[in-house]
Homo-oligomer: A and B are copies of this chain.
Amino acid sequence: MTKISIIVFSGTVDKLMPVGVLASAAAALGYDVEIFATFWGLMAFRKDMAEKNTKISKEFEEMGEMMFKIMKEKNVPSWLNLLRQAKEMGNVKIYACAQTFDMFGMKKEDLVDIVDEVVGAGEYLEKAKEADISLFI
């Protein structure tokens, strides 16, 4: 079994897109997918943020409007919908980082329903060490 493990640190839409694209492409290939959302990446999974997030990398801010316009015109699915599709297709687990969760005083119900579980950094490592591809995004 092939496995990809992704730490999602960044909470900007441009960096969440490759998370969604890689997760759904990997699920389509039958890979196990493990996503570990931490810091601003975990914030992006808050119910009150997930849909209305329009942040993009500061260095390319001037291209944000064009990017969102193209994504709308071409019906590019959002990162959140890509992750939903990935979960429907295959074995895709989304974990919230316990350290971030505690630090920011989050509750499980604050997070979108595709988040499976809250796990610590040690647990992430024990899962990631078995992965064929591990990324920090």
Cβ of A89 to closest chain B Cβ, rounded Å: 12
Cβ of A86 to closest chain B Cβ, rounded Å: 12
Q: Which of A38, A55, A59 has the most CB of B within 10 A?
A: A59
A133 within 8 A of B: yes
Which residues of B sit under 8 angstroms from A26, Cβ to Cβ? 125
From 31 to 65 in chain A, residues with beta carbon under 8 angstroms from any chain B beta carbon are: 31, 38-40, 55-60
In the complex, the chain B residue whose C-beta lies closest to that of A31 is B125
Q: A132: which of B21, B29, B129 is its contact (CB, 8 Å)?
A: B129
Q: Quick one: copies of this chain in the complex? A: 3
Counting contact residues on chain A (CB < 8 A from B), the size range is 35 or more
- Knowing A25-B121, A25-B125, A39-B14 are in contact, say whether A71-B133 is a contact too (CB < 8 A): no
Cβ of A126 to closest chain B Cβ, rounded Å: 7
| Bound-complex Cα distance A28 to B125 (A) | 11
| Bound-complex Cα distance A22 to B121 (A) | 6
Selected A-B contacts with CB under 8 Å, 9 pairs: A7-B135, A14-B40, A29-B122, A40-B59, A58-B59, A125-B133, A128-B133, A134-B135, A136-B136
